Chain A
């Protein structure tokens, strides 16, 4: 156990559905991340919430919407997804410092998403 949990572990959804992925960290960290891992691409950073700022990868489609209500919880809201969005979605957390991101990230087990 890494101290980062993700639910659900598996999700199958149609293209017209709306669903949310949840991540929770029990490590007292101040930064949380969403990554997409697909078979043909490297790990792709989608969103970061760090030191109360949100950073996003500009290539992420608007059908993905993050929410970070507090430093322990992170959501990824999904709507009108496409089959190519099928992937493993990983959440991570770390303790970031204003002087630099030199602390390791702790990853959850991921949510395996299949879009039909």
Chain B
């Protein structure tokens, strides 16, 4: 079965520092990979996706992600974190039955 893994339940980073939220996927075919963010008491919002083409994908709010086929990873990154980036982040593998990772809580400290 296709799956995604987010190995970190929580990531802490100081405001202004770069952040990385990790996602790996199981090897099976060509993956469609997405990142979503969820703020408290809200639904999920789409950030970015990789379907094909350039391995570096740029998305909303200054986020980007790099698709790495050899490491089967799709880590979410931002060069300079903001306190307002604090939220829950989900990696998704799109397929006939889409599969979400467990989610990573990002906490950005002032």
A residues bordering B, Cβ < 8 Å?
2, 4, 33, 42-43, 45, 48, 55, 57, 90, 92, 100-102, 104-110
Contacts and interface: CB of A to CB of B under 8 A. Distances in A.
A25 to B, nearest CB: 12
Interface of B: 32, 34, 36, 41-46, 49, 51, 90, 92, 94-103
Contacts of B45: 2, 107
Given A2-B43, A43-B90, A43-B103, A105 B98 contact: yes
**Which 9 A-B pairs give the minimum distances between C-beta atoms?**
A107-B43, A43-B100, A104-B46, A42-B102, A107-B44, A102-B32, A101-B94, A102-B51, A109-B43
Contacts of A42: 100-103
Given A42-B102, A42-B103, A43-B90, A101 B96 contact: yes
Contact of B46 (A33, A48, A101, A105): A105
A4 B102 contact: no
B43 A101 contact: no
A43 to B, nearest CB: 4
B98 A45 contact: yes
Given A42-B102, A109-B42, A110-B43, A102 B97 contact: no
A45 B32 CA distance: 17
B96 to A, nearest CB: 7
Contact of B43 (A55, A102, A104, A108): A108
A102 B94 CA distance: 6
A106 B90 CA distance: 14
27 contacts: A4-B43, A33-B98, A42-B101, A42-B102, A43-B90, A45-B97, A45-B98, A45-B99, A48-B97, A48-B98, A55-B96, A57-B97, A90-B44, A92-B43, A100-B32, A100-B94, A101-B32, A101-B94, A101-B98, A102-B32, A102-B49, A104-B46, A105-B44, A106-B46, A107-B43, A109-B43, A110-B43
